Amino acid sequence: MKREFVPEHLNVAEFAQAGGQLSGSQPLARFERLAAEAVESTDGLQVEWHAQGEERNDAGGRAQPWMHLQASAQVPLTCQRCLAPVRTHIEADRWFRFVADEATAAALDEELEEDVLVASRDFDVLTLVEDELLMELPITPRHEVCPQDVPLSVQDPDFDSAEKERDNPFAALAKLRSGKPE
């Protein structure tokens, strides 16, 4: 009999031991923190994800649970050149090693390249998917080619006219010094 796993309440050890696989496609709006980054409607946008468990032996020969997670989404962000919306493709592809407790995870996380998490009998894979995609958001999203011309002037046209209208303060001082009325 094939074991059924639920992504919101995953027993990590059983999932790895069984070599379990989970995948799905959920609306972007279901991932509230990720959807909050969108600058326009997320209707019709999906988050695609796939998780696969496996056991690997550590240096002592003990089986440790691992999970390979892949996720991707299109998120409408603001182009930092033209300030128009740009649909940005983000994806995550990571391996996670699971350990028994927070202290072990903290110690190993410092010395290992892979991500280390605490194994749980009630692990939420979809929260992990959202966390990983949030970390993949670009700092400065941009179009390859902006759909509209980008103004390259950093100066306001009214700036020069305001400078011309203002009196020179040294000319005013010179008039005071000479005692000549205006």
Strands annotated E in the chain: 21-27, 46-57, 63-78, 85-99, 115-118
Both tokens assigned to 14: 């059983």
Let me know if residue 26 belongs to a domain.
yes
* Domain residue limits at 81: 12-149
Let me know if residue 176 belongs to a domain.
no
Per the structure, the count of domains in the chain is: 1
Please state the pTM of the whole predicted model. Answer: 0.78
Let me know if residue 128 belongs to a domain.
yes
Let me know if residue 158 belongs to a domain.
no
Tens digit of pLDDT at every position of the chain (182 positions): 467 899 999 999 999 999 999 999 999 999 999 999 999 999 999 999 999 999 998 888 889 999 999 999 999 999 998 999 999 999 999 999 999 888 888 888 788 878 889 998 999 999 999 999 999 999 999 999 988 877 666 666 666 666 566 677 787 777 777 766 55
Let me know if residue 160 belongs to a domain.
no
Let me know if residue 177 belongs to a domain.
no
Tell me, rounded to whole angstroms, the distance of Cα 91 from its chain centroid.
Answer: 9
Let me know if residue 170 belongs to a domain.
no
Residue whose C-alpha is closest to residue 126's, from 37, 38, 43, 30: 30
Taking the CB of residue 100, how many other CB atoms lie within 10 A of it? Answer: 11
Let me know if residue 139 belongs to a domain.
yes
